[in-house]
Amino acid sequence: MPIKRNSYKKPAPRWFRLTKKIVSLTLNTVILVLLALGYSSESVLMLLIKIGESYLGNLFDTILSNGEVYAPDNQKPYSAPNDRTV
């Protein structure tokens, strides 16, 4: 599957975004519980694991973005109202 150059600005598939959010929230909860239980000596390791998870999630998010816009065809993209007063 070729990667389009402008596809990195488009969202990744919904299943990946949900999986990424679940993994991130689970990892944050585990880190908080471990810190609350007194495992503060491994805090640098926990920080490195969280940074690595965030990096890999964003990397795969960029790779999996396929250039599709996830909006119905009959619906126009939202545009902000004109705030200028005449």
Please check the confidence at residue 9 and state whether its pLDDT lies above 80.
no
- How far is 69 from 73, CA to CA, in rounded Å? 9
Q: Is the pTM of this model over 0.85?
A: no
Can you give the pLDDT at residue 84? Answer: 57
- Which is more confidently placed, 65 or 24? 24
Domain positions in the chain are 21-64
Please check the confidence at residue 45 and state whether its pLDDT lies above 70.
yes
- How far is 53 from 21, CA to CA, in rounded Å? 11
Please check the confidence at residue 72 and state whether its pLDDT lies above 90.
no
Can you give the pLDDT at residue 67? Answer: 61
74 Rama class: left (phi>0) / alpha (psi -120 to 50) / beta: alpha
**CA-based angle 50:55:59, to the nearest 5?**
150
Q: How many CA atoms lie within 13 A of 7 on its CB side?
A: 17
